[in-house]
Structure 1
Amino acid sequence: MMPEAEEHDRDAPFRSDVARLDALLEEVLSEEEGESLCRRLREIPIASDGADAAPAGFEPETVGTLVRACGFYSQLFNIAEDLHATRLARAGRRAGAAPGRGSVERVLIRLRQDGVGLDRLKSAFAGFEVAPVLTAHPTEVQRQSVLDAQRAVRRALSHLQRADLTRDEEAELSDRLKRVLLRLWQTSEIRHFKLTVRDEIENGVAYHGLTFFTALPRLYQQLERRIEAVYGEKVALPSFLRVGSWIGGDRDGNPNVDATVLRAAFTRQAEVAFGHYFGELAGLYRELSLSARRVAVSDGVQRLAEASPDVAESRREEPYRLALATIEARLAGSARALGLPLSGRYPAAEPYADQRAFLADLSLLAASLAAHGSGLLAEGRLGRLMRAVDVFGFYLMPVDLRQHAAIHAGVVAELFARAGLEEYGALDEAARVRVLSRELATPRLLYSPYVQ
């Protein structure tokens, strides 16, 4: 199971990870399935085409367990391999290696060499729109429980490669890794039931806490930093990359998707977005303990501080914390106005009209910090929160509403009939385009609440 010994020294951590996983997995299998299974696993010959070939005479149940063990090992090997690829890439960046093909740095350097100026680059970004869309496919069988455990394996392996680990820490991490392997082995890898649309919605929004909330603001920061390194000037990029979804809106692909499900998708998505914002505001409250004895603040921040619901004596000289309490109270008002089961630490105040108003108050904090010698603080959690609000808004992600064209045609035909217009169903394609263009161009509504 071990890679060939003729690997370069740079692959030593990988070989160490694989050896550790190999040993721990053998312990788990021996304890769970018996030593005889491990012995049989070691005896499986490798066919000439590289595939495992189980010896004849194995009981069907044993063969099934052996196949699962081989697949389990392959998953662990892939995790170690992926971690090592990341490790090598980081080592290359630390050593100052030239940017690789396809990297952002190399593309920016090439653009600069080709005479593309910063103004032209910024103009191009202003026209970009990238929207990866989350989908729910009926063949999706991966369980969050399994994915969580696989991520735990990777984290444990990463920590075990630290150079300053003590023997006790290494033993503790190794025990933790074995517990994860045991949990994985005892967990069913596939579901025994069919997911509902609401389950799919929950799975879709789970990725935001795992990746998007952290990764997207960081991506924008890194891209801006790399543009500055190549062009020598700071830039503020527009939010051209946003995540979309059609989970809960795919009426053409799932008969169970209706208006109630779509409303549930919107509500759950908004709840996740607001939950993230409340958490980040709480983090900022802990961080921005700046004292009025040490720093000044802008008039805008001072107004927010004077309206604060935080009346604790210990906060009287901490204007940023007072201002954050005001922002959190208004965000709680927005959550209440949207019917979300969330609240902050303060009573709900006047709700924000939209995400832009929320972002405007956060911008007041950032501008004040920058103007009074604390700009570095604005670039951390506050900067990431501002980017998140710009990307995710109060809705998390737009939902694509997919519906069969015949349904739309039927609705339009009914509207036309009630309004005394053309018989839409009898029109050819050119005529449909003509009458639809006409109706879209006029402010007159076809729908009326007084018409059945």
Structure 2
Amino acid sequence: MSTPPNYDDKALQASIKSLKAVLTKVLKSQANPQIMVTVEQLQRQFSALQRDGSPAKRQQLQAILQDLPADTLTEVIRAFSLYFSLLNIAEEATNLRQRRREIESNKLFWPGSFHDTLQNWQQAGVTASDVQTILNDLQYLPVMTAHPTEAKRRSVRSTLRKVFLSHELLEEQRLKGYFREQALERLHSQIQLLWKTDEVRTRSMGVIDEIEAGLFYFPLSLFEATARMYRNFQRALHDVYGAEAVRDIQIPNFLSFGSWIGGDRDGNPNVKPETTALALRLQARTIIQEYIRRLDLLRDQLAFSYGLCQPSPAFFASLDSDRQLLGSVSVRLERNYPQEPYRQKLALMKYRLEQRLAQIEQRIDGYSGQLGNTAYLGASQFQADLQIIQQSLVNHGDGAIADLELQDLIRLVGTFGFHLMQLDVRQESTRHSAAVAEILKAALGLDYEAMDENQRLAVLAEAIGIPGGLVYDATHLSAATTETLALFGVMADMRREIGNDCFSKYVISMTHAASHIMEVLLLAAQGGLSGRISGRWFCHIGVSPLFETINDLSHIDSVLRTLFAQPVYRALLQASGQRQEIMLGYSDSCKDGGILASAWGLYRAQQQVMAIADAEGIPCRLFHGRGGTVGRGGGPTHQAILAQPPATVRGQIKFTEQGEVLFYRYNNMETAMYELTMGITGLLKASLSLVRPVPEDRPEDLALMTELADIGERRYRLLTEQTPGFLDYFYEATPVSELGLLNIGSRPSHRKKQDRSKNSVRAIAWVFSWAQSRQTFPAWYGIGSSLESWCAGKPERLQALRELYQHWPFFRNLLSNAQMALSKSDMNISKEYAALCVDEQVGKWIHGMIESEYHRCVEWILEIANTDRLLADNPELAVSLYHRNNYLGPLNYIQASLLKAVRSETLAEGEENPWLKPLLRTINAIAAGMRNTG
């Protein structure tokens, strides 16, 4: 994007200018003078190359890089990387200020806010009773996952938060004189600290590091953002529907957080049963610490004295109960508050939480003995105490005080319990099949592997109901099966230790048959999590089959109908009292068959799943395995939810969030609150089918998309599976091989070592590597060909597509996301990577195929959107990409040249490649510049 969009970005430019000025000052005082000179030279030369793409200009740019020593190049890369971090802060701060201005001038707040959504509902005739109906079924569940795309170290993330706050302070008009100078000095020192902090890890991340990285965001932003989000929703209800309606409407705890970090073992040999236990204990420690902190704040606030208030009888009964439980300890704890009943109660509550925390710490340290009985046994006990205090305050006329920090804490307990996040466990189906085969062989001498599907289902159904589980000689089991069984034992133990809500679902990747679900239930039965006692079924585990390839998506109907036809499964599902959850994989389906086949297959799969569930009378929730990029199902959450098939959301949505997406959404509390709000209002809007009929998709639109998807899939597979040399191109024209050397994740980039096939490489590494080389084709390849082919010689079809773009959210969202990905591609830059191919002709040929489709996509999408430039309807993003491009471009040229140097360097044994570290820094820097890269 060489020319700026026609959009007023003065506020953003001012923020960029102020932060860049401080960075320049830091670099001039702290870095080699050559660094700033080189950065400016590269920018100027790249801009000249953008205007005039002649070979001479390209040679001039490469001449700047040619003689730079590795240490100078490293510092240049770090300067570019730091610029992107500051640009991200400038954008985030500008967006926040814009929302604040809208709040000041318009009580409806920003578009998509709670006020805006409820106001539109009221005007459309949605009553307060309708709102209650929707709220009763509402569940918004983002799930944190660990994927190797987030390159920022924790220390860097913390400092970036401080830079954001300092920059915000400097935007205050009232800040002048000495106070402004102080704030500037603080900002300067923080940016200087960033410059002096190495952003590249010196060691590989382990699973424990990933667990702690996920927990990092809760005390930083998510606890406060959650409390404020509920507060804002209640205020919006009051403003729109009135005080009387608010008294009648019950707002449930509709937000929950989930996690895969420490539970996802699919292809990750580093996740063991003990890792899962540790993840839950670290989560429990984090939330208990927050409750203790907030109890201290409440104790400072609720300084009511005897004689000036009259606590309720229930409150005094609760206080006496605590005194009896704690004995002489209570006398010591209450000593400082002889006249203050609420402080007395809060002191005892804090002590009981501290005892709970001490127990958690002991378990983390490996202690397995008996623990004391004075701690809270579960979150419900703690929440009951808080509600007793709240009702007592209301009874003596202090409801306004009860509705402040105390109500926030009650909301947090309802949201996070004593577990913080519900942990999903994930494993690949073949591990369960192998374990079940071994167990049946050892226990009964059965040859499970030789059975067909019907025979397997019959055996599994009978075996699940055996009281106490199957009996066998465990010494005959393999290490893999022993570990699989140990996991179910840990799940049972942790439910007892942390609470029944600490686990969400057991996700089965590569689900191909109904028996794959029943196998997990048999293994669960061996751990006491499911089975039959006295003729009654019980089930303490929920299973979520994951359908992730194009082929898997096409088999959903047969798998689910077979599963739901099993009486034992139906009995276990009913006994669990849970909804059936079905997970859909975006990234693997896109890697497999391309964006059109993936998006359309997922759309039809959702319709199929809900139709089958309705026919069977089974409540169902869809779990969307989305990534950060369009190629992995990413994009703005609000629009993505609205683009789901009509009447399939129904108040419930669960989706994965990973890598850099967590950082950009949750590193600042203000942005976290905005992101949660936009996601929840998207869910609210998509759930109107709960109270009124919604228009169904037109059959002709469905037929049209089926044709487009078929054409697009053929074109994508022609490139990725049928073009000779394509996989060589992937490994030579992207940094995928070097990605594994960057210490940013515990999961291998490939499912099998030394297997360079398309199936083996993980979708995250697939998308990340293509994005690094500025050929983001997984997110758009095949769209142009399908549109062109379908419209060939028939102008009326172009008009039909234009109308489809206007009235169908799915189609509009598909092309809008493709525009975003196309805007991040650069065919001139990607040509530099293509030149790295060992076979020059293969590089040119395959790059030519990608480039042709790129231009075809741009041409046809612009035709259908009826506009003259990409992202015309999203000028904010267009401006963002424009500001990034003059820094991204030089980095790409640096990375391409370093890839060549690293791969061609001849080293003596034990000698370190001097170009490798700068190369790894370019991966970090380009990821920061492109943001949602994986």
**TM-score computed with the length of structure 2 as normaliser:** 0.44
State the distance in 2 between where 1:98 and 1:391 align: 26
* CA–CA separation in structure 1 for the residues paired with 2:394 and 2:351: 24
1:314 CA displacement? 4.3
Match of 1:278 among 275, 285, 292: 292
Instruction: State whether structure 2 residue 331 is matched by structure 1 residue 323.
Output: no
C-alpha distance in 2 between matches for 1:316 and 1:336: 27
Structure 1 stretch displaced more, 393-402 or 112-121: 112-121
In the other structure, the counterpart of 1:29 is: 27
1:47 aligns with 2:48: yes
Look up the match of 1:345.
none
Amino acid at match of 1:272: T
Deviates more, 1:272-281 or 1:157-166: 157-166
Structure 2's unaligned 5+ residue stretches are 324-329, 365-371, 476-934
Q: Label 1:223 to 1:149 Cα distance change in 2 as closer, same or farther (>3 A).
A: same
Give the letter aligned to residue 63 of structure 2.
Answer: A
User: Structure 1 residues 422 and 11 mapped into 2: Cα distance closer, same or farther (>3 Å)?
Assistant: same
Equivalent residues in 2 for 1:240-259, closer than 5 Å: 240-259=254-273
SS of corresponding position for 1:49: helix
Which residues of 2 match residues 88-103 of structure 1 at below 5 A? 88-96=98-106, 99-103=109-113
C-alpha change, 1:340 and 1:163, in structure 2 (3 Å) is farther
CA distance, structure 2, for counterparts of residue 326 and residue 313 of structure 1: 11
What residue in structure 1 maps to residue 413 of structure 2? 389
1:226-375 to 2 correspondence within 5 Å?
226-232=236-242, 233-234=245-246, 235-306=249-320, 307-308=322-323, 309-311=330-332, 312-338=334-360, 340=362, 350-375=374-399
1:278-310 deviation digits (Å, cap 9, x = unpaired)? 111111111111111211101122133344515
Q: Could you say if the C-alpha distance between residues 144 and 269 of structure 1 is closer, same or farther in structure 2, counting changes exceeding 3 Å?
A: same
The more displaced of 411-420 and 278-287 is: 411-420
SS at match of 1:401: strand
The two structures, once aligned, show a CA RMSD in angstroms of 3.0
- Are the aligned partners of 1:250 and 1:401 in contact in 2 as well (CA < 8 Å)? yes
Distance 2:90 2:399 in 1: 40
Contact 2:142/2:256, CA 8 A, preserved across alignment = yes
Runs of 4 or more, structure 1, over 6 Å off, are 50-53, 449-452
SS of the aligned residue for 1:140 comes to coil
Bigger drift between 211-220 and 409-418 goes to 409-418
Per the alignment, residue 205 of structure 2 pairs with: 195
Q: Distance in 2 between matches of 1:191 and 1:369?
A: 51
In 1, are the aligned partners of 2:93 and 2:164 still within 8 Å (CA)?
A: yes
Q: Output the CA distance in 1 between the equivalents of 2:456 and 2:300.
A: 60
Q: How far off its partner does 1:450 sit?
A: 9.1
Partners of 2:356 and 2:376 within 8 A in 1:
yes
Residues 443, 473 of structure 2: 8 Å contact kept: no
Deviates more, 1:424-433 or 1:157-166: 424-433
- Please say if 1:210 is aligned against 2:232: no
- Equivalent residue pairs, number: 442
Distance 2:429 2:185 in 1: 57
Contact 1:280 1:385 survives alignment (8 Å) = yes
Instruction: Select between 228-237 and 154-163 the one with higher mean Cα deviation.
Output: 228-237
**Aligned partners of 1:329 and 1:349 also within 8 Å:** no
CA-to-aligned-CA distance 1:88-128 (integer Å, 9 cap, x gap): 11011101165554333232223223332222322222212
**Aligned AA for 2:68?**
P
Aligned position for 1:173 = 183
Bigger share in strand: 2
Give the Cα separation in 2 of the matches to 1:181 and 1:102: 34
In structure 1, distance between residues paired with 2:80 and 2:207:
33
Give the whole-Å Cα distance in 2 for the aligned partners of 1:7 and 1:124.
38
* Aligned AA (2:393): L
Aligned residues of 1:289 and 1:318 also touching (Cα < 8 A): yes
* Corresponding residue of 1:134: 144
1:444 matched residue in structure 2 = 467
- CA separation in 2, counterparts of 1:436 and 1:266? 30
For residues 216-273 of structure 1, give each alpha carbon's deviation from its aligned partner in whole angstroms, at most 9, with x where no partner exists. Answer: 1221221122122222222332122211111111122310111111111111111111
Note the C-alpha offset of 1:36: 4.6
Q: Which residue of 1 aligns with 2:485?
A: none
**Distance in 1 of aligned mates of 2:403 and 2:297:** 14
2:435 partner letter: V
**How big is each residue's C-alpha offset from its partner over 1:289-348, in whole Å with a ceiling of 9 and x where there is no partner?**
111121110112213334451545541210101111222233234344555579xxxxx7
Task: State the one-letter code of the partner of 2:289.
Answer: G
Q: Whole-Å Cα distance in 1 between the matches of residues 445 and 251 of structure 2?
A: 48
Note closer, same or farther for the CA distance 1:39–1:173 as it changes in structure 2 (3 Å cut).
same
Deviation at 1:190, TM superposition (A): 1.9
Contact 1:366–1:378 (CA<8 Å) still a contact in 2?
yes
Relative distance call for 1:297 and 1:57 in structure 2 (3 A) is: closer
Deviates more, 1:252-261 or 1:14-23: 14-23
Query: Which amino acid is 1:132 matched to?
Result: P
Q: Does 1:83 align with 2:93?
A: yes
Which segment drifts farther, 54-63 or 299-308?
A: 54-63
The 1:127/1:70 distance shift into structure 2, 3 A limit, reads same
Q: How does 1:85-124 map to 2 (within 5 A)?
A: 85-96=95-106, 99-124=109-134
Describe the shift of the 1:240–1:340 C-alpha distance in structure 2 as closer, same or farther (beyond 3 A).
farther
Distance 1:229 1:310, change over 3 A: farther
> CA 1:54 to 1:75, structure 2 compared with 1: closer, same or farther past 3 Å?
farther
The TM-score normalised by the length of structure 1 is 0.88
Deviation at 1:33, TM superposition (A): 2.4
CA distance 1:175–1:363, shift in 2 (3 Å): same
Contact 2:285 2:360 in 1 (8 A): no
CA distance in 2, matches of 1:37, 1:256: 40
**Counterpart residue type for residue 115 of structure 2:** E
Does the 8 A contact of 2:118 with 2:240 survive in 1? yes
User: Does structure 1 residue 162 correspond to structure 2 residue 172?
Assistant: yes
Structure-2 change in CA distance of 1:230 and 1:439 (3 Å): farther
Pick 1 or 2: higher relative contact order, CA cutoff 8 A, min separation 6. 2
* Per-residue CA distance 1:175-224 (angstroms, 9 max, x = gap): 11111111111222221221111111111111111122111122122112
Distance across 1 between alignment mates of 2:360 and 2:38: 60
Question: Does structure 2 conserve the Cα–Cα contact (< 8 Å) formed by 1:304 and 1:322?
Answer: no
For residue 214 of structure 1, what is the amino acid of its counterpart?
Answer: E
Give the Cα separation in 2 of the matches to 1:327 and 1:186. 44
Letter in 1 for 2:343: R
- In the alignment, is the contact (CA less than 8 A) between 2:103 and 2:110 conserved in 1? no
Partner Cα separation in structure 1 for residue 388 and residue 473 of structure 2: 47
Relative to structure 1, the CA distance from residue 260 to residue 341 in structure 2 (aligned partners, 3 Å threshold; closer, same or farther) is closer
The yes-or-no answer on 1:150 pairing with 2:148 is no
Q: 1:19 to 1:451 in 2, by over 3 A?
A: closer
Classify 1:168/1:403 alpha carbon distance in 2 versus 1 (closer, same or farther; 3 Å). Answer: same
- Label 1:414 to 1:450 Cα distance change in 2 as closer, same or farther (>3 A): closer
Cα distance in 2 for partners of 1:301, 1:443 equals: 48
Which ranges of structure 1 fall in alignment gaps of 5 or more residues?
A: 343-347
- Larger mean CA deviation between 418-427 and 291-300 belongs to 418-427
Contact 1:244 1:399 survives alignment (8 Å): yes
